[in-house]
Amino acid sequence: MDEFSITPDPTNPRLVKQVEGMDHTGSKSSLSVPMERPLTLFLNGQEIVTMMTIGDYPDCLAVGYLLNQNMLLADDEIQSIDHDDEIETVVVRTQRRTNYEEKLRKKTLTSGCAQGTLFGDIMDKLEGIQLDPNAVVRTSWLYELNRKINAQPSIYLEAGAIHGCVLCREDRPLIYMEDVGRHNAIDKIAGHMFLKNITSNGKMFYTTGRLTSEMVIKCVQMHIPILVSRSGFTASGVELARQTGLTLIGRSRGKRFSVVAGEHRVILDSDPSEIPNESSRVQRKGGAPEDAP
């Protein structure tokens, strides 16, 4: 798979729009802002959830959400995926008959942007997952990923107010998805992997968002043993990573990073003194700096 085989499209007018406003001097200004629209997901005729999303890759988002909620099984055969942009719905049909009425009553809202959801049987599934004990991450890969991903054109650099997730192999970014919620971005990648038969072997995740319990759960469910973020951690995210054997690396900027779980997978093969410092602020389009998400 080539580097950046899928990337954000900050030029797509369906994803980003211009709004008029006033700046700190009282002058009129024009700002780029990401779009946010509802998408209602149906599985075999049953309404599952309404998600707030920027609206790209609805098929991947739908499949990834169902996978990460254990509503779509690894051996399920998808018969069709129908997206209707006018009525803002996506319908996934499988050969297996499904009914999740009871499960839908056990829904828990999470802390993610645009409010993600988790269901009560998720933890039971995690207990049976064994992450690859031989997986490693070299610090030289981390530094190169930081450089490549931060230089890639994105909706964040164009408009801000959005999160990104990147599927990586060693120092190569492969699939880069963005959305208003980081859980949506990771679900899009999960769905794309399922639809294209991409395995988790040798892969790791990079995200711009916080390392919460939800992000750890989704990563473990996808059998990806290493999760890296530019941002920080929550206590529940750290605890869950340690319980499941996930390597959790946060605050990865420039030469700095912090490993709070799965330290045994990290190979220190670079001299930090040779890595240039990264500014704590990201220069967005138009010259207006904004803190990274």
N-to-C CA span, the chain: 27
DSSP-derived secondary structure letter, 225:
-
For position 127, what pLDDT does the model report?
82
**What's this model's pTM, rounded to 2 decimal places?**
0.89
Least reliable range by pLDDT among 5-9, 128-132, 274-278: 274-278
Across the range 165-172, mean pLDDT stands at: 98
For position 257, what pLDDT does the model report?
97
Distance (Å, whole) CA 123 – CA 28:
51
Across the range 267-283, mean pLDDT stands at: 80
For position 76, what pLDDT does the model report?
96
β-pair type (16-22, 247-253) = unpaired
By CB atoms closer than 10 A (0-12, 13-18, 19+), residue 274 is exposed
Mean pLDDT of the chain: 90
Distance (Å, whole) CA 233 – CA 218:
15
Comparison of pLDDT for 292 and 92, the residue scoring more:
92
Model pLDDT for residues 13-72, shown as the tens digit of each residue = 999 999 999 999 999 999 999 999 999 999 999 999 999 999 999 999 999 999 999 999
Distance (Å, whole) CA 136 – CA 249:
12
| Amino acid at site 224 | I
Question: Which residues have a Cβ under 8 Å from the Cβ of 26 and sit 6 or more positions away?
Answer: none
Comparison of pLDDT for 112 and 137, the residue scoring more:
137
Position 252 pLDDT exceeds 90: yes
Least reliable range by pLDDT among 29-33, 122-126, 194-198, 284-288: 284-288
Q: Could you give the C-alpha distances from 237 to 139, 165, 248, in angstroms and in order?
A: 22, 17, 9
Banded pLDDT at 120 (limits 50, 70, 90)? low
Distance (Å, whole) CA 247 – CA 59:
29
Distance (Å, whole) CA 140 – CA 257:
12
Distance (Å, whole) CA 230 – CA 156:
14
Position 118 pLDDT exceeds 60: no
Position 283 pLDDT exceeds 60: no
CATH architecture of structural domain 137-291: 3-Layer(aba) Sandwich (3.40)
Banded pLDDT at 289 (limits 50, 70, 90)? very low
Q: Would you say 145 and 275 are in contact if contact means Cβ atoms under 8 Å apart?
A: no
Model pLDDT for residues 128-166, shown as the tens digit of each residue = 899 999 999 999 999 999 999 999 999 999 998 999 999
Banded pLDDT at 287 (limits 50, 70, 90)? very low
For position 124, what pLDDT does the model report?
72
Q: DSSP string spanning 14-28? A: TTEEEEEEE-TTS-E
